[in-house]
Structure 1
């Protein structure tokens, strides 16, 4: 058995772990990053799995949150090989009757399409875009900083005043189905909002789904849905190259089993092979909260109340993904979808509600809602000229593992695509299925195929993520920080969870470190003695 020592140990080489390692190295900390897989990236990886010469993004694919994130942009990854590219159109929704609604790169063009669907809807879209522009910068700052976002909140308050803040507060809670009905007369605008809300696990009639749908739709209109040239893995590799250039030691094939706690604080980790890496200052864990607290820590160092609260931790729905290699572009019935990088399909506005109801009742939807990616349309390097590297994913109830159920649902996915793209099946020259179990096998953080690190529902967001408490990366174990999507603000490739953990660790060892540690210690004491459980 061997031992090493560093200022900080980062567990996990997903985007949050890579962000944390980079920020700590920028502060001149000596950092070791340990990743159990043979390559870094977590859910940001790509490979040729459907057919030779066709690059598939194995998990996440389009990155509006990364493009808008000040955390990611602050790393200047373009200096380390990252190049963003975009499809001609951003996102479309294929309706079963052959129509489509599309977010174009230009807001006026999007509005024109919606106006053709229903008079007045074009102006309604432009009003929504104008509202977005009025709140964009302070709102993004609030989303991508630790909770509570005091400075960003004050900026919003000064900018919006009372009336604007009330409207923004309502937007944060209104169901997307209601928001769509209030905003648009036609179905086009409504499905663009609702389809984007379905990127989370929130139902169309659920509180907060309006905000998610509005946010992703407006980000699409603002920064697009860009992809890394060459594959999603290039985003992770650019982070890794930057980290290595800054002095971070990255070890792949290094699975951490245990977080060591000595004299009341995190002191390092023990790997599966029995070796240890000691941490002088901090351990940052880019792993799911249940796994960290239940399996990586001695139960004696985790407060009973926290363990009890984790019994209520709720995962988001499982994900089933199919990758295709096509010998020609997708033959969409609606020509406007040919240039869209992302296409939503399978159901109309009412059908979206039905899908969510089925999932809530732990039923496999009879008509699935699909997110479909045209990767070569967005990035011509993904497959040979004149072909398409495509994928689709849909959701299954949590805990769906039966291969027969998975196979049956894959056939439903094929039929859903065929309905809005007649002749699609005839162009398939390769197919690769990733079941919920496959996703978890390839990335243990994706428990049961859950890709958001826990539900996005309001009862597990903000100060209630991962359990009722601080909503911050600090844990009850001094020197240990939660850096995964189980922490605020949750899922999505934006790097904020890793950034928050790194900044908390740096603050604990800065000029006001003693004050910081005392405040966190007091807050956790209150949570664990008076909060947490109802």
Structure 2
């Protein structure tokens, strides 16, 4: 136990556990407020799932985890940090997204709305106009919607703005859209197959099925952001986001210590006062501790069940992870030889299934089965940013979802990589002959490199409606605050969840600042504590 006033351990106003992008966002905002901030990172590098490296062949750069960033580009949180002053620049592929159907047709999303409309019009007369109407509706609500997504729950300011813009009837219709399944949404918006495929493919970036409540809002959000701002990539790779966050933090006096794995949050009289790292070193936090780690790791491993309300511990037994992930990077000697050349100009390609195929794929995952016909999300990185590989070549990646498991046999992962390459070869004959290097990251590999990617789960927990908003990560207030005073959850396990947008980190920083205010902080704490007592008693 660290006792207040001790002269032994190193001290900081705030200790941030984890140098993932959310932890770095939180640290930056606290440093902006004049706090002395120390980030403790378990691995030897910052960034978490926002990193790049040469893993396939010399001269070929791969984004090791996340890649295209519509939410990151549009996020009010990241925009507010002015990361361009620290070297972050964005690039776009000629087309944003292509969904390649099994019959060879492709629905293509381009940043020019008329070009997208023309692609969808080829699937059904009138669908182009329907897309333009949907986009006009999105533009009316995009700013408050992003505010709702990235602010703490309940999102009062953004919610009031939406009601003001849409009036009561429009707000109720929007509320319905937030829970409708993406299959139903596609049926209501379009008559052909192209529009619904674009929406459903975007929704399948999460672990939801096309028939699951809430899947529609993910498909709608990502597709509309693609139309509005594109799906850009950082010039020079995903690592540039992390580099900019680190540079900004250190310029403001923040510190990062690598190879410092926290194994305990230390508490006294119900308050977080410090942390202990593996090896026994102690670190004292004068004002707050913010944890960019998954919720089960924070509560059960770092805090411990004995220091928590029993009901909270019981609820954590029902916490659900999102699916495991298998990611493959390839170094290609030439661009992908797509049969349908409309796909050759899209930064992101959805491949291997139409809407019914996506339903079957998701059903296999729900039953714990490895899909025989995997749905692939493919990134043509050199197309989007030529710095990823030598001229005339391509740095390509693809990932697909698997049922959530903590352990996988090597031969099962290898067999599924073969299936992935079969899908690519069918859509681009000659693909395999272009491969000059390959890197496979199965679920265990992802977790080994980034302990927060438990079982290869990328989202910090399922995106299902029963684990969102005030139910994330478990039933409670849906905020960064925890039942331990001055301890805050700053990871994707907190509202609003996964994605590179920085909102969980920003929300945790805001909560820490609110708790620390001289006059209102005590009132804030009493309100939060009363809410937790009501939920967990």
Tell me by how many angstroms 1:2 deviates: 6.8
- Note if 1:522 corresponds to 2:530: yes
Partner SS state of residue 117, structure 1: coil
Give the direction of change, closer, same or farther, for the CA distance of 1:128–1:244 in structure 2 (3 Å limit): same
Q: How far apart, CA to CA, are the structure 1 residues paired with 2:146 and 2:260?
A: 35
Could you report, residue by residue, the CA deviation over 1:336-383 in whole angstroms, capped at 9, with x for unpaired residues? 111111000011111000000000000110100000000000000000
Q: Which residue of 2 aligns with 1:171?
A: 177
Q: Find 2:457's aligned residue among 447, 450, 460.
A: 450
- Note if 1:429 corresponds to 2:436: yes
Q: Find 2:521's aligned residue among 513, 517, 534.
A: 513
Q: Find 1:21's aligned residue among 8, 14, 27.
A: 27
Whether the aligned pair in 2 keeps the contact of 1:96 and 1:419 (CA below 8 Å) is no
Q: Find 1:317's aligned residue among 323, 340, 357.
A: 323
Q: Which residue of 2 aligns with 1:93?
A: 99
Q: Which residue of 2 aligns with 1:159?
A: 165
TM-score (norm 2): 0.97
- Note if 1:40 corresponds to 2:46: yes
Tell me by how many angstroms 1:313 deviates: 0.2
Q: Find 1:475's aligned residue among 479, 482, 492.
A: 482
- Note if 1:112 corresponds to 2:118: yes
Could you report, residue by residue, the CA deviation over 1:460-490 in whole angstroms, capped at 9, with x for unpaired residues? 0000001001000000000100000000000
Q: How far apart, CA to CA, are the structure 2 residues paired with 1:30 and 1:114?
A: 53
Whether the aligned pair in 2 keeps the contact of 1:90 and 1:105 (CA below 8 Å) is yes
Q: Give every structure 1 segment of 4 or more consecutive aligned residues whose post-TM-superposition deviation is greater than 6 Å.
A: none
Q: Find 2:310's aligned residue among 290, 304, 310.
A: 304
Q: Which residue of 2 aligns with 1:244?
A: 250
Could you report, residue by residue, the CA deviation over 1:189-216 in whole angstroms, capped at 9, with x for unpaired residues? 1110000000011100000101110000
Q: Find 1:344's aligned residue among 344, 350, 368.
A: 350
Q: Which residue of 1 aligns with 2:278?
A: 272
Structure 1, unaligned runs of 5 or more: 530-534
Q: Which residue of 2 aligns with 1:51?
A: 57
Q: How far apart, CA to CA, are the structure 1 residues paired with 2:526 and 2:226?
A: 42
Farther off after superposition, 510-519 or 50-59:
510-519
Aligned residues: 529
Q: Find 2:337's aligned residue among 297, 310, 331.
A: 331
Q: Find 2:290's aligned residue among 281, 284, 288.
A: 284
Partner SS state of residue 283, structure 1: strand
Structure 2, unaligned runs of 5 or more: 1-6
Give the direction of change, closer, same or farther, for the CA distance of 1:404–1:2 in structure 2 (3 Å limit): farther
TM-score (norm 1): 0.98
Partner SS state of residue 536, structure 2: helix
Tell me by how many angstroms 1:333 deviates: 1.1
Q: Which residue of 2 aligns with 1:462?
A: 469
Tell me by how many angstroms 1:263 deviates: 2.7
Alignment of 1:254-269 (within 5 A): 254-269=260-275
Could you report, residue by residue, the CA deviation over 1:258-292 in whole angstroms, capped at 9, with x for unpaired residues? 11112321001101121111000000000001011
Partner SS state of residue 381, structure 1: helix
Q: How far apart, CA to CA, are the structure 2 residues paired with 1:289 and 1:303?
A: 15
Q: Find 1:79's aligned residue among 45, 70, 85.
A: 85
Could you report, residue by residue, the CA deviation over 1:212-267 in whole angstroms, capped at 9, with x for unpaired residues? 10000000001111111111111111100000001101111111111111232100
Q: Which residue of 2 aligns with 1:439?
A: 446
